[in-house]
Amino acid sequence: MRTSIRKTKTMTCLLANSLFVKSSIASFQSPKPSLYLSDAFCTFPTGFCNSNPRCSRRWFCSSSRTMEWISYLSQLEAAEIDETLMGPLGFSVDQLMELAGLSVATAIAEVYRSSEYSRVLAICGPGNNGGDGLVAARHLHHFGYKPSICYPKRTPKPLYTGLVTQLESLSIPFLSVEDLPSDLSNEFDIMVDAMFGFSFHGTPRPPFDNLIQRLASLHNYDQTHQKSPVIVSVDIPSGWHVEEGDISGEGIKPDMLVSLTAPKFCAKKFRGPHHFLGGRFVPLTIVDKYKLCLPPYPGTSMCVRIGKPPQVDISALRENYISPAFLEEQVEADPFNQFHKWFDDAVAAGLREPNAMALSTAGKDGKPSSRMVLLKGVDKDGLVWYTNYESKKAHQLSENACASILFYWDGLNRQVRVEGSVEKVSEEESEQYFHSRPRGSQIGAMVSEQSSVVPGREAFHRKYKELEDQFSDGSLIPKPKHWGGYRLKPELFEFWQGQPSRLHDRLQYSLVEFITNKFSFLVTSLKELKIAVFFSELIKVGVCSRKSQKLFHSKILVLLLLQAICYTEISEYLHAWRR
């Protein structure tokens, strides 16, 4: 496709503009919602509670930040579980420590990006809690952070000396207590408190008493609105009573607590914004024996947030996009090739569902609707997705066959907008794709009466089950008449690359602009042709010399040639468009 490319440097905040929320929304009177069949993209969230039927130790806590049903352990139980894991259950301390430290590092990385919080100080104690801190520091190094370690009471066991050697081989600096800068706030963004865990008792002895005090006093900076490092406590905020919490009220107030195995009783007193659970190794025997209620871990994650995420000031949410410049010289002449290039980048970056796109349509009333759908094909003819032909989008497209598609690839700071006209794909194409889908999805499409109010999930599931039984012999599941694909034929592509300070790069390919440019060329050249013909007529009647006559003839020839090229380009384009 031949198109014109236009580049716009913009200083507006593209996302903030489009996501602006009106505060008057609260006054909107909503009737009781009906249960609708959802659009294809939406996946049902997996339950958070693993609903252990054997769980009787539910903790109902009034704190809005704490999960209502999670189990908490006493100091004795924590020590017992530790012994059982490393005794009859066959775990080694190295294994558990590695998984615990990895959980801490992943929880940190989930909340505090290395681009903003790179400088980490891990203060490690003499026991296993200190070991977790050493392991977490190693993983954080590999995640792109710059950790330093303060490890004043080293344990001369092979496990710990090995961890130290591993860190030294990565050139991670070890700082003595004396070497620590007098103002920790200036030097570090994250303080990992890995001094004491569930075996702590009494009051902290030197040098940890002083180190704990220094961490506790960091919060004074908050009060003076200076930037202070965030504190991440491993398993227990060091110095807190394992069950009673911060008895004096003057202890460490961590911003993040990563409870390991299960939270200990003191965690009920945690008031920071980020409470995570790590240590994804608890076997069912332990769950049963201690009647634990623990949340399931999402996907392959090593940590899970427990407690509500903090309330945020939406207006303060902003990202400074750091990405390479996106210049005209670098782009493909054909927007489809450019799209493929960026799509491949999104796949290579491991982004989840890079084919997820927001589809916006509007019916004859002009009121737009958007929803996420999945791109299922792209070639020179356009972009294809499949859906229910009785859905709202289908209804709107029947009234107004134009749509806008938006891809947002977060990890790459990229957005692609595609606009154009839409038509149904052929029945054969829909049939072919329908039968390539998993049988469950094929039955789902038969069950679905999308965008209609359903009596309830029960009826919906019953129908699914009936059809599943009907086709359990593996026979061909017929494509429902109301199911098929759409193809958007692009008229405009806009590629957006986020840049620092909102100086984003946008490159636009516009077919309309291409045609407009070509026509304006034709009009100008026709005018010139008329003038040239007029003068060559004058020559015929002897008004001009023979020399000028030759000049006008060659001009006429050149103009005719250019016009022919222009006509060919336009007809090629129109032909491609009508395909």
Ligand X SMILES: NC(=O)C1=CN([C@@H]2O[C@H](COP(=O)(O)OP(=O)(O)OC[C@H]3O[C@@H](n4cnc5c(N)ncnc54)[C@H](O)[C@@H]3O)[C@@H](O)[C@H]2O)[C@@H](O)CC1
Min CB(92)–ligand X separation in Å: 11
One of 80, 118, 126, 376 touching ligand X (CB under 6 A)? 126
- How many positions of this chain bind ligand X (CB under 6 A)? 32
Min CB(322)–K ion separation in Å: 33
Q: Which of 439, 502, 546, 578 is catalytic?
A: 502
Burial tier of 370 (Cβ tally within 10 Å: 0-12, 13-18, 19+): middle
Considering only the stretches 19-27, 75-83, 528-536, 568-576, report the one whose residues sit in contact with ligand X under the rule CB under 6 A: 75-83
Task: Measure the CA–CA gap between 415 and 360, rounded to whole angstroms.
Answer: 15
One of 9, 22, 32, 205 touching ligand X (CB under 6 A)? 205
- Measured in whole angstroms, the distance separating CA 184 from the mean position of its chain's CA atoms is 33
Sign of the Cα torsion 524, 528, 534, 540 reads: negative
197 known ligand binder: yes
Query: Per DSSP, what are the bridge partners of residue 424?
Result: 486
SS3 of 463-478: the string is: HHHHHHHHCCCCCCCC
| Binder of residue 204, out of ligand X, K ion, none (CB less than 5 to 8 A by kind) | ligand X
473 known ligand binder: no
One of 1, 3, 40, 82 touching ligand X (CB under 6 A)? 82
413 known ligand binder: no
276 known ligand binder: no
Report H helices in 71-123: 75-86, 93-111
514 known ligand binder: no
Q: Does 238 bind K ion (CB under 5 A)?
A: yes
Q: Does 199 bind ligand X (CB under 6 A)?
A: yes
Min CB(203)–ligand X separation in Å: 6
Subset of residues 214 to 243 that bind ligand X, contact rule: CB under 6 A: 234-236
Q: Does 488 bind K ion (CB under 5 A)?
A: no
Task: Measure the CA–CA gap between 122 and 10, rounded to whole angstroms.
Answer: 42
One of 69, 107, 127, 373 touching ligand X (CB under 6 A)? 127
Helices (H) and strands (E) counted in the chain, each on its own, are 16, 16
Q: Which is nearer to ligand X, 205 or 540 (CB)?
A: 205
Q: How many degrees, rounded to 5, is the angle at CA 281 between CA 277 and CA 283?
A: 115
113 noted as active-site residue: no
Considering only the stretches 129-137, 166-174, 357-365, 456-464, report the one whose residues sit in contact with ligand X under the rule CB under 6 A: 129-137
- How many positions of this chain bind K ion (CB under 5 A)? 4
Residues near 526 by beta carbon (within 8 Å), at least 6 away in sequence: 563
400 known ligand binder: no
**Cα atoms in the Cβ-side hemisphere of radius 13 Å centred on 158:** 2
Q: Which amino acid is at 379?
A: D
DSSP state of 150: E
Q: Which of 311, 315, 313, 312 is nearest to 13 (CA)?
A: 315
Q: How many degrees, rounded to 5, is the angle at CA 196 between CA 195 and CA 200?
A: 150
Task: Measure the CA–CA gap between 536 and 530, rounded to whole angstroms.
Answer: 10
Considering only the stretches 173-181, 203-211, 409-417, 498-506, report the one whose residues sit in contact with ligand X under the rule CB under 6 A: 203-211
Min CB(139)–K ion separation in Å: 17
381 known ligand binder: no
Using CB under 6 A as the criterion, which residues of the chain lie in contact with ligand X when the complex forms? Answer: 78, 81-82, 85, 96-97, 100, 125-132, 196-205, 208, 234-236, 260-261, 279
Catalytic positions, written as ranges: 502
Binding-site entries for (6S)-NADPHX: 128-132, 197-203, 235
